[in-house]
């Protein structure tokens, strides 16, 4: 059964060391909703997504954080691993890929750890590799068959594309994208945001995408089409994030 | 599968350092095995030859020299003793049997060792008889029979005549009465006896007389007593009260002394090999530890795609384990090659297979390596649990 709320945060307070990084009274994202969180650098966007991934859950002081109906602060290690493998796709701005694995292996990583995502990818394109190629083609890569090189040999923009393909492969229920197009030109950015939206709408997945791009200044049209736009400055009452 | 692939590619990142560590560890493994093998071969041979004779007697010489030559064929023959001394001592009431050994004669440069069946039995020599009988044995068929050492087997045919020359006289090649006939070939002993020709001492004495050689001498004699309890008395009598000065040696005591030095040397070599192994393991460990910081982001990323902490710990453990298994395999191959090579000039090593208990040090090194490999794996598990 699909949960009605993909993400629910109430009265959250999180510190890292001496600084308070997140103070959010309420954030609810419904299942299948596609939202964009905008904010300047250091406003806490990355901190929020890392928390939703369960990466910094031990730094929470108070509040409730629920992801796909799992209490992220109390979930066991094994269940958290299963949740991440089966249901969450992510794109983080820094260190997008395992540098010494090939690009295709990086894209297929979630399928190695989740039978569910492997099976979904196979259902969609007969094989997991075909699904990887399908996603890569949509990201405007000229020759998707050349994916055997080590990830570190590709440009930052290409690596980010591979990371997006990895996040989308195998139909995850929730996609967290932290500035997914930061290393791309405007054409690339448009392709990335379109693909994320299309794929999530097609599969019914929830998408939470963060960006510091301001369409008014940067002229990034790809930021159109989200169901909802949130401002991290309004959402987060805390001071400056270390990110 | 992807874990193995990641291990391979991650190892590939540090291929140079990893290869060096594996080679050093393989070298250490091989050295440990080779040293244990040589040690065991020497011990086994010493045990074998020290069981029969109670005393070795020659003209005055260093006890170690006497034992090394009489039992291992190492060094030069001891100075000579008159035959009459042998006869006199052999007639002692305490003596069960005595085996005189003369080693001054030559045939085409090969040492001719003349003795009795007791000497062959003491060294547990075996031979395949070509003439007369086909069964294995070392009994001389007659006083003109000769056994040739294993290394000379390809040079002579059964029934071939071996003229003998004495160091004390000109060549006797043309004297028909100075010849022996090849009866058989000795089974390989791993000592210089493999390059000797063994003949009955009575036959040699006959030839000497035929050649007009007046000196009737031997180099040493082995004595077996009826009762080993009388050893001290006999030894004292021979050393202090006998009219001719003699070197009288208890081979068991000398072999024990030799064994002490051999064990000490063995320990030094073992310790050196073990230290090399330990350093190689530390090299593997520090390679891993240095890579650990670089891999923090990688760990976080893998955790986010669903890798379990134990999978990441396994990945960290598998890498040094693979290196150790590779080193063990290469070390074993190197050890086999070394024993094949060593066996050509120290045939003693071919006589034994390495006993399982000698693998203790190898096992200890492997376990130490496993313990060291567990440390970064445990650390990885801890870090993974927090992400």
Backbone dihedral region for residue A33 (phi beyond 0: left; psi -120 to 50: alpha; all else: beta): beta
CA atoms of B189 and A117, how far apart (whole Å):
69
For residue B169, the model assigns a pLDDT of: 46
The answer to whether the Cβ–Cβ distance between A82 and B298 falls below 8 Å is no
For residue A201, the model assigns a pLDDT of: 92
Domain ranges for chain B, please list them. 2-46+257-386, 55-243
Query: How are beta strands B55-58 and A70-71 bridged, if at all?
Result: unpaired
For residue B111, the model assigns a pLDDT of: 87
- Is the pTM of the predicted complex or chain greater than 0.80? no
For residue A222, the model assigns a pLDDT of: 59
CA atoms of B187 and B194, how far apart (whole Å):
8
CA atoms of B231 and B225, how far apart (whole Å):
7
CA atoms of A13 and A238, how far apart (whole Å):
8
A135: helix, coil or strand?
helix
What ipTM score was computed for the predicted complex, to two decimals?
A: 0.83
The answer to whether the Cβ–Cβ distance between A113 and B306 falls below 8 Å is yes
Sign of the C-alpha dihedral, residues A97, A98, A101, A106? negative
Q: Please compute the mean of the pLDDT values over residues A148-161 and round it to a whole number.
A: 84
Contact predicate B46/B352, CB 8 Å: no
Number of helices and strands (H, E) in chain A? 9, 9
Percentage of the residues of chain B whose pLDDT score is greater than 90: 13
Q: Please compute the mean of the pLDDT values over residues A134-155 and round it to a whole number.
A: 77
Q: What are chain A's domains?
A: 32-55+80-235 (3.40.50.300)
Contacts of A100 in chain B (CB under 8 A): 6, 9-10, 12-13
For residue B50, the model assigns a pLDDT of: 61
Nearest to residue B319, comparing CAs of B263, B375, B361?
A: B375
The answer to whether the Cβ–Cβ distance between B6 and A98 falls below 8 Å is yes
For residue B172, the model assigns a pLDDT of: 44
Contacts of B304 in chain A (CB under 8 A): 53, 55, 84, 88, 90, 92
Sign of the C-alpha dihedral, residues B281, B287, B289, B292? negative
CA atoms of B218 and B103, how far apart (whole Å):
7
Residues 6+ apart with CB under 8 A from B359: B33, B36
Summarize pLDDT for A93-130 with one digit per residue, the tens: 776 788 888 888 899 999 988 999 999 989 888 888 88
Using the predicted structure, report yes or no on whether residue A176 has a pLDDT greater than 90: yes
For residue A8, the model assigns a pLDDT of: 93
CA atoms of B379 and B387, how far apart (whole Å):
13
For residue B138, the model assigns a pLDDT of: 61
Q: Which of B2, B13, B301 sits opposite A100 (nearest CB)?
A: B13
Q: Which of residues A27 and B48 earns the better pLDDT score?
A: A27
Summarize pLDDT for B350-361 with one digit per residue, the tens: 767 777 777 787
Q: Which of B2, B9, B386 sits opposite A100 (nearest CB)?
A: B9
Contacts of B387 in chain A (CB under 8 A): 55
For residue A77, the model assigns a pLDDT of: 85
Segments of chain B scoring below 50 in pLDDT? 134, 168-175
Contact predicate B130/B186, CB 8 Å: no
How close does chain B come to A26, measured CA to CA in Å?
A: 25
How close does chain A come to B293, measured CA to CA in Å?
A: 14
φ, ψ for residue B91, nearest 5 deg: -85, -5
Take residue B231 and report the two structure tokens written for it.
């050893």
How close does chain B come to A241, measured CA to CA in Å?
A: 19
Summarize pLDDT for B61-117 with one digit per residue, the tens: 998 889 888 887 788 899 999 999 999 999 999 999 999 999 888 788 888 889 988
Using the predicted structure, report yes or no on whether residue A218 has a pLDDT greater than 60: no
| Residue of A52, A77, A106, A159 best to disrupt the B interface, most CBs of B under 10 A | A77
How close does chain A come to B278, measured CA to CA in Å?
A: 29
The answer to whether the Cβ–Cβ distance between A55 and B300 falls below 8 Å is yes
Contacts of B301 in chain A (CB under 8 A): 95, 97-98
For residue A192, the model assigns a pLDDT of: 84
Cα nearest neighbour of A172 on chain B: B305
Q: What string of DSSP letters covers B193-209?
A: GGG-EEEEHHHHHHHHH
The residue behind tokens 């000592």 is B191
């Amino acid at each position: 059964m699909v949960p009605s709320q993909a993400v629910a945060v109430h009265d959250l307070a999180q510190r890292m060391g001496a600084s308070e990084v997140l103070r959010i009274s309420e954030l609810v994202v419904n299942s299948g909703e596609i939202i964009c969180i905008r904010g300047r650098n250091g406003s806490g966007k990355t901190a929020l997504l890392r928390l939703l991934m369960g990466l910094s859950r031990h730094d929470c002081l108070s509040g409730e954080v629920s992801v796909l109906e799992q209490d992220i602060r109390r979930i066991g290690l094994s269940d958290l691993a299963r949740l991440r493998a089966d249901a969450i796709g992510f794109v983080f701005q820094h260190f997008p890929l395992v540098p010494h694995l090939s690009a295709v292996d990086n894209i297929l990583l979630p399928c190695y750890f989740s039978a569910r995502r492997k099976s979904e990818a196979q259902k969609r394109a007969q094989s997991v590799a075909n699904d990887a190629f399908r996603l890569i083609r949509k990201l405007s890569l000229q020759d998707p068959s050349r994916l055997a090189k080590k990830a570190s040999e590709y440009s930052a923009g290409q690596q980010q594309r591979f990371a997006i393909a990895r996040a989308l492969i195998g139909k995850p229920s929730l996609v967290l994208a932290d500035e997914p197009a930061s290393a791309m030109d405007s054409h690339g950015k448009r392709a990335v945001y379109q693909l994320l939206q299309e794929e999530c709408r097609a599969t019914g997945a929830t998408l939470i995408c963060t960006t510091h791009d301001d369409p008014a200044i940067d002229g990034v049209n790809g930021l159109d089409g989200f169901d909802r736009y949130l401002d991290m400055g309004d959402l987060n009452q805390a001071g400056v994030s270390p990110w | 599968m992807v874990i193995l692939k990641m291990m391979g590619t991650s190892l590939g990142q540090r291929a140079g350092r990893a290869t060096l560590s594996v080679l050093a560890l393989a070298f250490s493994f091989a050295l440990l095995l080779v040293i244990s093998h040589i040690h065991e071969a020497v011990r086994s041979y010493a045990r074998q030859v020290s069981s029969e004779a109670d005393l070795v007697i020659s003209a005055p010489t260093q006890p170690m020299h006497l034992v090394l030559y009489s039992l291992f064929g190492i060094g030069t023959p001891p100075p000579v003793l008159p035959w009459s001394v042998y006869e006199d001592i052999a007639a002692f009431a305490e003596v069960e049997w005595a085996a005189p050994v003369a080693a001054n004669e030559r045939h085409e440069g090969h040492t001719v060792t003349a003795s009795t069946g007791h000497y062959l039995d003491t060294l547990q020599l075996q031979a395949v008889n070509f003439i007369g009988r086909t069964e294995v044995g070392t009994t001389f068929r007659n006083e003109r029979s000769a056994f040739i050492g294993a290394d000379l087997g390809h040079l002579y045919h059964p029934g071939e005549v071996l003229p003998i020359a004495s160091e004390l006289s000109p060549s006797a090649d043309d004297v028909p009465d100075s010849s022996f006939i090849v009866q058989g070939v000795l089974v390989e002993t791993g000592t210089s006896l493999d390059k000797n020709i063994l003949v009955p001492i009575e036959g040699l004495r006959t030839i000497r007389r035929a050649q007009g050689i007046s000196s009737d001498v031997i180099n040493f004699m082995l004595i077996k007593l009826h009762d080993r309890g009388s050893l001290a008395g006999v030894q004292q009598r021979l050393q202090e009260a006998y009219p001719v000065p003699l070197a009288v040696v208890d081979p068991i005591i000398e072999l024990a002394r030799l064994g002490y030095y051999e064990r000490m040397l063995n320990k030094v070599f073992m310790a050196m090999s073990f230290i090399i192994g330990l350093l190689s393991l530390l090299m593997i460990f520090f390679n891993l530890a240095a890579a650990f910081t670089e891999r923090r982001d990688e760990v976080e990323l893998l955790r986010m795609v669903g890798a379990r902490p134990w999978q990441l710990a396994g990945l960290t453990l598998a890498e040094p384990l693979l290196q150790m298994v590779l080193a063990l395999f290469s070390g074993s191959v190197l050890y086999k090659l070394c024993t094949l090579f060593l066996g050509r000039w120290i045939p003693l090593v071919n006589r034994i297979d390495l006993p399982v208990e000698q693998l203790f040090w190898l096992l200890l090194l492997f376990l130490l390596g496993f313990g060291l490999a567990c440390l970064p794996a445990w650390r990885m598990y801890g870090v993974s649990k927090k992400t």
